[in-house]
């Protein structure tokens, strides 16, 4: 469907709807119409989500220094919206062809695919042209996997690896080796429980730190294409080998690995339990480095935190080197506001983002880094190293799900580990959500 045809159909709907209402309603309709002009706006408007302040910080820096020329041609203007309603806002704006020049992307890949399909956002690879090498290959492959496209349509303002962070002191005190396999993890968890230490701190309110364990198990057991097969329809979550993973996580929960009332623990609670030394491990992404670096939150000290990859499953097809990764919540550019001045901005940001994000806040992005600052913490250096070493990456449990399936999965995760849902029941709920 071409853009013109789409625009026509978009206008057709309300018109059809209004026929039943009569003349009164038609007056409201006539005010609608010709929008979506291709005119480049005078401002380089950026709609940020309040859950990410890092991007704004970097943008402000480049606008004064590296991108001063672009700033002069098209001044930067930042506005903010609450993170909880980003998806709704983006849809409403996109429906009006009114997405700002640059905006936070949706955290729901399914919605992003709609934006790409409806030609609402800029093909960043094309916009960068010869500068497209500034995006790291690993980040590029994550973007392609995520949206099922050949080109990048977003800026990887973050590049995170995920795995299990552990408290070195607790491990030492209890004579625990880093678990290499899932079975070892189960044993470690039992041992810690017996010693009166909560093994894993998790966030049942948001659910994703639990479902990540299911996908982690699946990738190790069935190989890197485990979730792609579900997306293609060649496998179902209710198949025995998939249910096995959910059962394994449920069993871990039944053994008391996550403490009590998992469903009531939120993101802050998860961090607080781990960083005050009340839990031995936590599954989380490398974005946690900022929390680890904050002495107000981190009472166990950065030097006492270690990182281990998700353990292997004995006899599984996957490798322990396949690191789950994601690009956080990236940014995108509106097609309807795109023009040469914006293109200049896009190039300038891409060429400077990697260094500046690392230097200002220690964020590892999906952009090339030309100089690594000296004052980075050991933990950040470790992550930076891991990122550059990453050969193949895998996505997370919900990455290829529809928005509804994601919601069902994450809101029922706590039930899985607290015993109110069996592995099979959980997987059926998720599979049935279309």
Partner 1 sequence: MTDIITESGRPETTTTAPPRPAAAVTRFLRRLPLRIVIAFVLIIEIYPLFWTLQSSFKTQAQFLSDPFWKLPTTLEFSNYVDAFTTGQMGQYIQNSVLTVFPSLALIILFGVAAGFALEVMVWKGRGTVLLIFLAGIMIPGQMILLPLFTIYFQTQLTGTLWPLIITYTATGMPLTVFMMATYFRAIPREIFEASTLDGASIFRSFWSVGFPMVRNAVFTVALVQFFFLWNDLLIALTFTNSQSLQTIQVGLLNFTGNYGQVAYGPLFAAICVSVFGTLIIYLILNQRVMKGLTAGSVKG
Partner 2 sequence: MKSVLGDKRAIVILVGPALLVYSLVILVPIFWSLGYTFFNGSIVTGFTFAGFDNFVKFALDPAAWKAFGFTIKYAVVLTVGQVVLGYLFALLYQFWLRKGSATIRTLVFFPVVLPTVAVALLFQKFFESAPQTGPVNGLLNAFGIASVDWFGHADSAFWVIVIMDIWRSMGFYAVLLYAGLVDIPDDIIESARIDGASGWRLVRSIVIPLSLPVLLSSVIFSINGTIKVFDSVLALTNGGPGNATTPLTLYMYQTAFTYGDYGYGSTIAFMLTLLCLVVTIFIFRSTRRDLTKG
* Backbone phi, psi, residue 318, to 5°: -85, 165
Helices (H), 223-339: 226-232, 240-254, 267-275, 289-292
Binding of residue 118 to partner 2 (CB under 8 A): yes
* Cβ–Cβ under 8 Å, residues 287 and 157: no
Quote the tokens at residue 236: 């179902």
Binding of residue 269 to partner 2 (CB under 8 A): yes
**Segment lying near partner 1 (by CB under 8 A), choices 30-38, 179-187, 225-233, 366-374:** 30-38
Could you give the count of Cα atoms lying within 13 Å of 358 in the half-sphere of its Cβ? 26
Binding of residue 39 to partner 1 (CB under 8 A): no
Binding of residue 83 to partner 1 (CB under 8 A): yes
* Cβ–Cβ under 8 Å, residues 320 and 142: no
Interaction pattern, residues 89-118, with partner 1; x per rule: CB under 8 A: x--xx-xx-x--------------------
Binding of residue 149 to partner 1 (CB under 8 A): no
Binding of residue 418 to partner 2 (CB under 8 A): yes
Residue 405 beta carbon to partner 1: minimum distance, rounded to whole angstroms: 20
Closest CB to partner 1 among residues 329, 369: 329
Binding of residue 402 to partner 2 (CB under 8 A): yes
CA distance 135 to 211: 29
CA distance 368 to 265: 37
Residue 253 beta carbon to partner 2: minimum distance, rounded to whole angstroms: 12
Helix axes 86-95, 109-117, angle to 10 degrees: 10
H and E: helices and strands count for the chain: 19, 10
Question: What radius of gyration do the chain's Cα atoms show?
Answer: 23
DSSP-assigned letters across all residues of 4-40: HHHHHHHHHHHHHHHHTT-HHHHHHHHT-------PP
Binding of residue 120 to partner 2 (CB under 8 A): yes
Binding of residue 263 to partner 2 (CB under 8 A): yes
The pairing of beta strand 102-104 with beta strand 331-333: antiparallel
Closest CB to partner 1 among residues 230, 413: 413
CA distance 332 to 352: 17
Interaction pattern, residues 253-292, with partner 1; x per rule: CB under 8 A: -------------xxxx-xx---x----------x--xx-
CA distance 84 to 270: 19
CA distance 289 to 355: 17
Among partner 1, partner 2, none, partner that 80 touches (CB below 5 to 8 angstroms by kind): partner 1
CA distance 26 to 24: 6
Positions 193 through 252 that interact with partner 2 (CB under 8 A): 205
Residue 261 beta carbon to partner 2: minimum distance, rounded to whole angstroms: 4
Among partner 2, partner 1, none, partner that 290 touches (CB below 5 to 8 angstroms by kind): partner 1
Catalog residues that contact partner 2 under the rule CB under 8 A.
1, 6, 9-10, 13-14, 16-18, 20-21, 24-25, 28, 85, 87-88, 91-92, 94-95, 108, 110-111, 114-115, 117-118, 120, 205, 259-265, 269, 272-273, 278, 402-404, 407-408, 411-412, 414-415, 418, 420-421, 429
Residues at the contact surface with partner 1, assessed by CB under 8 A: 14, 28, 31-33, 35, 47, 50-54, 79-85, 88-89, 92-93, 95-96, 98, 206, 266-269, 271-272, 276, 287, 290-291, 296-297, 299
């Amino acid at each position: 469907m071409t853009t013109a045809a789409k625009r026509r159909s978009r206008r057709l709907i309300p018109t059809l709807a209004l026929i039943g209402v009569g003349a009164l309603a038609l007056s409201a309709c006539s005010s609608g119409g010709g929008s979506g002009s291709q005119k480049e706006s005078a401002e380089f408007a950026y709609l940020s989500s309040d859950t990410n302040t890092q991007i704004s910080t970097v943008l402000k820096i480049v606008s004064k220094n590296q991108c001063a020329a672009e700033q002069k041609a098209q001044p930067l203007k930042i506005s903010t919206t609450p993170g909880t309603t980003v998806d709704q806002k983006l849809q409403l704006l996109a429906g009006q062809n009114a997405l700002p020049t640059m905006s936070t992307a949706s955290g729901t890949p399914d919605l992003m695919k709609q934006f790409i399909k409806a030609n609402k956002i800029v093909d960043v690879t094309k916009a960068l042209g010869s500068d497209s090498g500034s995006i790291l290959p690993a980040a590029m492959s994550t973007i392609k996997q995520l949206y099922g496209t050949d080109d990048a349509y977003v800026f990887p303002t973050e590049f995170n690896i995920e795995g299990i962070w552990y408290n070195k002191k607790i491990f030492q005190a209890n004579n625990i080796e880093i678990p290499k396999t899932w079975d070892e993890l189960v044993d470690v968890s039992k041992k810690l429980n017996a010693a009166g230490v909560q093994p894993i701190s998790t966030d049942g309110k948001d659910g994703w730190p639990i479902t990540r364990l299911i996908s982690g198990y699946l990738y190790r057991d069935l190989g890197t294409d485990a979730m792609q097969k579900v997306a293609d329809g060649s496998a179902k979550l209710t198949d025995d080998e998939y249910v096995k993973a959910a059962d394994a996580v449920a069993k871990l929960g039944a053994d008391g690995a996550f403490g009590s009332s998992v469903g009531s623990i939120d993101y802050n609670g998860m961090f607080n339990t781990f960083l005050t030394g009340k839990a031995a491990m936590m599954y989380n992404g490398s974005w946690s480095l900022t929390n680890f670096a904050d002495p107000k939150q981190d009472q166990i000290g950065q030097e006492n935190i270690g990182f281990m990859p998700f353990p292997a499953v004995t006899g599984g097809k996957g490798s322990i080197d396949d690191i789950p990764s994601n690009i956080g919540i990236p940014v995108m550019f509106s097609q309807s506001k795109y023009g040469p001045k914006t293109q200049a901005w896009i190039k300038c940001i891409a060429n400077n983002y990697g260094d500046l994000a690392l230097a200002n806040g220690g964020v590892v992005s999906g952009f090339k880094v030309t100089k690594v600052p000296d004052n980075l913490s050991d933990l950040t250096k470790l992550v930076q190293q891991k990122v550059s070493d990453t050969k193949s990456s895998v996505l997370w449990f919900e990455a290829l799900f529809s928005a509804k399936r994601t919601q069902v999965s994450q809101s029922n995760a706590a039930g899985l580990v607290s015993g109110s849902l069996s592995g099979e029941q959980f997987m059926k709920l998720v599979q049935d959500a279309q």
